[in-house]
Amino acid sequence: MTRVAKRSVKPPARPAAKKPAPRAKAPAAAAPAAAPSSAGLVQLLDADGTVARGKDPNLPTPTLLFLYEQMVQVREFDRRMLMLQRQGRIGFYGPILGQEAATVGSIAALEPRDWIFPALREGAAAMMRGLSLTEAINQLIGNGKDRCKGRQMPCHYTFKEGHYYGMSSVIGTQISHAVGASMAARIRGDDTVVLGYMGDGATSANDFHCGMNFAAVYGSPCVLFCQNNQWAISVPISKQSASETLAQKGKAYGIPYARVDGNDVLAVYSVTKAAVERARSGLGPTFIEAVTYRRLGHSSSDDPTRYRDEAEVKAWEKKDPVDRFRAYLVRRGLWDDAKESAFKEQIAQRVNAAIAAAEANGPPADETLVTDVYADVPAQLKEQLADVLALEGRGVNEGAFPL
Ligand SMILES: Cc1ncc(C[n+]2csc(CCOP(=O)(O)OP(=O)(O)O)c2C)c(N)n1
Ligand SMILES: [Mg+2]
Among all bound ligands, the one having the nearest atom to the CA of 203 is: 1
DSSP letters spanning 5-33: PPP-SPPPPPPPPPPPPPPPPPPPPPPPP
Ligand 1 probe mutation, 122, 171, 231, most atoms within 8 A of CB: 171
Structure confidence at residue 296 (pLDDT): 98
CA–centroid distance, 386 to ligand 1, in Å, is: 38
Structure confidence at residue 48 (pLDDT): 87
Name the residues annotated as catalytic. Answer: 294, 298, 307
Residue segments in the chain with a per-residue pLDDT below the cut of 50 = 1-9, 11-12, 15, 17, 24-34, 402-403
Cβ count within 10 A of residue 52: 10
Secondary-structure percent of the chain, ordered helix, strand, coil, rounded to 5: 40, 10, 50
Structure confidence at residue 254 (pLDDT): 97
Quote the pTM value: 0.89
- In CATH, the architecture of 41-359 is 3-Layer(aba) Sandwich (3.40)
Give CA–CA dist 369/371, Å, rounded.
Answer: 6
The β-bridge relationship of strands 235-236 and 231-232 is: antiparallel
Structure confidence at residue 70 (pLDDT): 97
**Portion of the chain with pLDDT greater than 70, in percent:** 89
CA–centroid distance, 252 to ligand 2, in Å, is: 21
Residues of the chain with CATH 3.40.50.970: 41-359
CB 211 within 8 A of CB 287: no
301 lines ligand 1 (CB under 6 A): no
171 lines ligand 1 (CB under 6 A): yes
175 lines ligand 1 (CB under 6 A): no
101, 125, 190, 223, 285 from 182: Cα distances, Å: 25, 18, 10, 9, 10
Structure confidence at residue 396 (pLDDT): 64
CA–centroid distance, 213 to ligand 1, in Å, is: 21
Structure confidence at residue 245 (pLDDT): 96
200 lines ligand 1 (CB under 6 A): yes
Structure confidence at residue 8 (pLDDT): 43
Give CA–CA dist 337/125, Å, rounded.
Answer: 27
142 lines ligand 1 (CB under 6 A): no
Ligand 1 probe mutation, 169, 231, 233, 289, most atoms within 8 A of CB: 233
